[in-house]
Amino acid sequence: MKKVLLIGNPTEHSLSPVFQQAALNHLNLSWQYQTMTVEPSDLEYIVDSMREGDIAGANVTIPYKAKVIPFLDELAPSAEKIGAVNTIQIIEQGSQIKLIGHNTDIHGIKSSITTQNVTTVSSTNSIIGTGGASLAAIFGLQSLGAARVHLIGRNITKVEEVIKHGWDIEIIPHDLTSIRRSQFVDLLAKSSTIVQATSVGMSGGPAPNQSPIPEAILKAALEKSNLKQLLFDLVYSPPHTAFLGAGLTTKTARINGLEMLLRQGAAAFEIWTTKAAPIELMRASLKEAAI
């Protein structure tokens, strides 16, 4: 039986096995989706083991989305652009096996935003965070025609490093630790989409039940704005975060990271199997799991 791996550290919290295994079973593929918590010293060995023929594909999660790249043979444009891989495609070429890195987080973010009635073309947006998820969010918004992004992080050096990637969109850097309250409220009020791309608020994370944006500031911005806004928290556990809780207004749409997880996972499924992902079945499997 072939396996599809999820490699990261930790992996026990992941919901990917729930819907990926349901999809594999639905298409009568005798593959098993398995999580694998990998220590840094073992990463190269685990990736090399994918060349042995019994692995059909893999997902990569934190903290290895960038660290896995040196052990792959090739990067798809999505992964090359932002320097992060979350999906590994395994291709047999004669007697050799080739490992190609993809980033389906971009698709997951982009397709999640398009399910909401929010303006993206020529829009101004805000993203909190400087990790791989924030880069995927920038790329997704760029591909949807956004004009600019306010990029806000606790480490201004990391914010500026993200900007150096070179984007076809204006990136305006901000230091979360020193930005003035009035400026913060104004830029958030002008943002069509506000993406929370950090681990803050995640169950079991370093700052559970918290938000990177003070509640008073976010509420003031939402009340001031005359836009139909979207609050998008990439955290999905818990489903109702402190960040999203500040958006309880009639004109503000709110989504968590569950839809993004589902859609990036469906894109990965199609890369591994070359078959259309049964996305509604995958969504239903998460609901059945009471998530």
- Active-site positions read 65
What span, in angstroms and rounded, lies between the C-alpha atoms of 265 and 13? 15
What span, in angstroms and rounded, lies between the C-alpha atoms of 260 and 231? 13
Q: In terms of DSSP H, where are the helices of the chain?
A: 16-26, 43-49, 77-82, 105-113, 132-143, 156-163, 181-189, 215-224, 242-245, 257-273, 279-288
DSSP per position, 219-238: HHHHHH--S-EEEEES--SS
Distance of CA 10 to the CA centre of its chain: 16
Positive or negative: CA dihedral 29, 31, 34, 36: negative
Q: Which of 87, 129, 131, 128 is nearest to 107 (CA)?
A: 87
Distance of CA 46 to the CA centre of its chain: 23
For the chain, the C-alpha Rg in angstroms (whole number) is 19
